Structure 1
Amino acid sequence: MSGQGHRRQVLHVLTALDFGGVESQMRLIADRGAASRWPRAFLAIGGGGAVLDALHRLGAEAGALGCAARIPSPAAAWALWRHLRRTRPAIVHLHGAEANFHGTLAARLAGVPVVIAEEIGIPRHSARARRTFAQLYRRCDRVVAISQAVKDSLILLGEATEAQVEVIHNPFQPQPFYWLPPRGAALELGFVGRLEPVKNPMAAIEAVAILRAQGMAARLRLVGDGSLRPALVQRIAELGLEDAVTLCGFDPDPFARLVGCHVYLQPSLTEGFGLAVCEAMSAGLPVIASAVGGVPEIINHGQTGWLLLKPDAAALADAITAVQAMDAADVQAIAKRAADHVVGRFSIPAYLARCDALYDRLALAAGVGR
């Protein structure tokens, strides 16, 4: 398809522009836009919020359609088609299942030269959904997976082939590096994430109960909010941990709440990539995380952190005990090595360079800019 008459622009489409990992990624892209060869714009199918406001403050072209994004939504597809016909971007980069579904249909009907779908997590699709997405992805110029684990899942489910999928790891915002505090009377543990079942914060709370029963003065800070909060409050009371576990709530600067922690916990049941893991490592926090999804692509067990093979409270407590038994200088060396690793490998300049190379290649094939 010829790219004549289309703007040399990438339009990023996602479900919402409020809070979340993908939304934060859009803010990073907008903030570092000068490092890319491609001008960017941003569009939410649903509502806006904090990230949309941040994009506007950065001077980015960004908006929200205000449509229900649940699949299928004819209204969402129609609104996207109208937007694409009016703005005529050369490339549409879709993020997440809802955007991939509605955006692929709308972009192809609108004649967008290049369409890229991005899978932002490990798919958990029914047989019918697998067939649907396999059909959609055949109409895309490329499918981006945010980790090798996500790519492997797409291929295993039959939604895409090896040749269709390209792995581009998510970028993240490095945190200020803090040297670990001296070991004192209490072991301070930290967790950042949505208080949802998939993030498994209950395991962290129950691990604290196990450690305290074993005589270790462990304390935990949970930064985030979500549907599990009432259940977590109840469980904390049942275990008598009111003085040991702090529910900090949502914080736009969560790692500032973890200054003074000795170990970071991420006992997730699944992770498409693991942005919070990268952020914790960059902050100099030793990380114990579940060996799920893309996390093993971030952590080299025993060298840049520790992988948890079974994400339950007992295994987590054992891992914490093992790290505490190590020499403090060795733990600090692992934390420093981890910070250097993630900052070097998953930086926003590296991400933008990978995306630009993909955009250039697909745009050339589509005749954009000729």
Structure 2
Amino acid sequence: MRIAYVINTFEGGGAALPIPAIAGVFRRCGHDVHVAALSRRNGRAMPHLRRAGLDPVVLGADAAPIPRQLAGLDAWVRHVRPTHIWTSLTRATLLGQVVGAWRRIPVVSWQHNAFLRPANLALLRLMRERSRIWVGDSAYVTALTRGRLALPESRVMCWPIFRARTDMAPAPAWRPGEDVRIGSLGRLHASKGYDVLCRALVQLRAAPGLPPYRVTIGGEGAEHDRLRAFCQRHGLDNVHFAGYVEDTAAFLRQCHLYVQPSLYEGFCIAAHEAMNMGLPVIGSDVGEMGRSIVDGVTGWNLPPRQPGALARRLEAALRQPGLLAAMGQAARERVMHDFSTRAFSRAGCAILHRMAG
């Protein structure tokens, strides 16, 4: 097969970063893959793709109207001459479905998001027959997709988008006398709940007798200035905004505890990367994260949008920092079992087999 893989943008993080691993499965199964994005945005994922031997193609300008994006995608598909179109994220899926219908090319479509805008959900429901196979990027999103698009089980498959690495040593354990280093990775977007974390940290200051700790948030986005101003206004001088993090493994290796206060998630790759690094995770009980975190064993599940609950959990963790490493080891073992390289390849190959049938 010759697969034309199209995504919304080549922004860093999110659905673009797993593309090399996904394309690797395509290639190992004997198939050709070409990768394009409707627009570039910050393009931070492109070097990552090139290092994997891919040639990422940007189809249009960031502000291009939808008809122009559709024309650009159609021209690229005619140039690549694929046997299949594989789409990622809503806009690329809707446009890919149109081009697939025009060119009589079967379409396979990822579903990544737990939350869809009502208009996007209505369009996906309207176009659901235009994709031959729908692929959920987690068990959670797969079940959600079957329900919200009213699809039979035969049309929906699951391919967890995360592949645990066995070649990384776990993060060093906290030692007495050290600051407890708390980290988080994600876009600085309202959906990630960093305002909830900052409000929790304000409440946490009232807790007496805690060891020194600091919080580093890696990521960029529209909420940066507002979050930073909040921290300055409330004197949260132990909170640092690190900007975009290219080397997430190096970032996580400096942490003792990971926090993901998201309002909603699909898979949440960053939280699983933290578990892979041997960090316990305090995370919202949403998406696949709510399934992977075993409360009190690999981390702690909390309801989203509740800074008081998050502050209390952070306080409890900070009062016993010597227990964090053992819990992190349990988290590491869980993701290495559930999201092994073998399981990742097996799930991808099953979809490719269905596509070829």
TM-score, normalised to structure 1's length? 0.86
Q: Pick the aligned partner of 1:294 from 288, 296, 315.
A: 288
CA contact (8 A) 1:123 1:150 kept: no
- Percent of aligned pairs sharing the same letter: 26
State the match for 2:215 in structure 1: 220
CA contact (8 A) 2:138 2:267 kept: yes
Give the aligned residue type for 2:266: G
CA gap 1:130/1:207 in 2 versus in 1, 3 angstroms = closer
CA offset digits 1:112-145 (Å, max 9, x no partner): 1x3111111113232x543421231212111111
Q: Pick the aligned partner of 1:355 from 338, 348, 355.
A: 348
3-state secondary structure, aligned to 1:84: helix
CA gap 1:309/1:210 in 2 versus in 1, 3 angstroms = same
Does structure 1 residue 45 correspond to structure 2 residue 22?
no
Q: Pick the aligned partner of 1:115 from 107, 115, 125.
A: 107
Distance 2:82 2:170 in 1: 39
State the match for 2:79 in structure 1: 86
1:297-336 paired onto structure 2 within 5 Å: 297-326=291-320, 328-329=322-323, 331-336=324-329
Question: Displacement, 1:235?
Answer: 1.0
State the match for 1:346 in structure 2: 339
1:1-80 paired onto structure 2 within 5 Å: 8-30=1-23, 35-47=28-40, 49-67=43-61, 73-80=66-73
3-state secondary structure, aligned to 2:45: helix
3-state secondary structure, aligned to 1:191: strand
3-state secondary structure, aligned to 2:270: helix
Question: Displacement, 1:309?
Answer: 2.0
Q: Pick the aligned partner of 2:95 from 99, 102, 113.
A: 102
State the match for 1:280 in structure 2: 274
Distance 1:130 1:180 in 2: 44
Distance 1:361 1:34 in 2: 16
Distance 1:29 1:152 in 2: 21
CA contact (8 A) 1:95 1:117 kept: yes
3-state secondary structure, aligned to 1:292: coil
Aligned residue pairs total 352
1:239-258 paired onto structure 2 within 5 Å: 239-242=234-237, 244-258=238-252
CA gap 1:186/1:133 in 2 versus in 1, 3 angstroms = same
Distance 2:224 2:121 in 1: 33
Distance 2:25 2:158 in 1: 21
Give the aligned residue type for 2:49: L
CA contact (8 A) 1:211 1:218 kept: no
Give the aligned residue type for 1:109: W
CA offset digits 1:280-330 (Å, max 9, x no partner): 01111111100012212322222222111244221111112233445834x
Asked which structure has the greater RCO (Cα within 8 Å, sep 6+), the reply is 1
TM-score, normalised to structure 2's length? 0.89
CA offset digits 1:28-77 (Å, max 9, x no partner): 3346765443232211111272322333343324311115588x822222
Give the aligned residue type for 1:226: G
CA contact (8 A) 2:171 2:256 kept: no
State the match for 2:159 in structure 1: 168
Q: Pick the aligned partner of 2:132 from 137, 141, 144.
A: 141
Question: Displacement, 1:89?
Answer: 1.4
Distance 1:25 1:117 in 2: 15
3-state secondary structure, aligned to 1:314: helix
After TM superposition, the structure 1 stretch with the greater mean CA deviation from structure 2, 98-107 or 41-50, is 41-50
- Unmatched 5+ stretches in structure 1: 1-7, 365-370
Give the aligned residue type for 1:298: S
3-state secondary structure, aligned to 2:75: helix
- Unmatched 5+ stretches in structure 2: none
Question: Displacement, 1:234?
Answer: 1.2
Q: How large is the RMSD of aligned CA atoms in angstroms? A: 2.4
Q: Pick the aligned partner of 2:265 from 264, 271, 284.
A: 271
Give the aligned residue type for 1:168: W
3-state secondary structure, aligned to 1:209: helix
Q: Pick the aligned partner of 1:197 from 190, 196, 220.
A: 190
Give the aligned residue type for 2:284: S
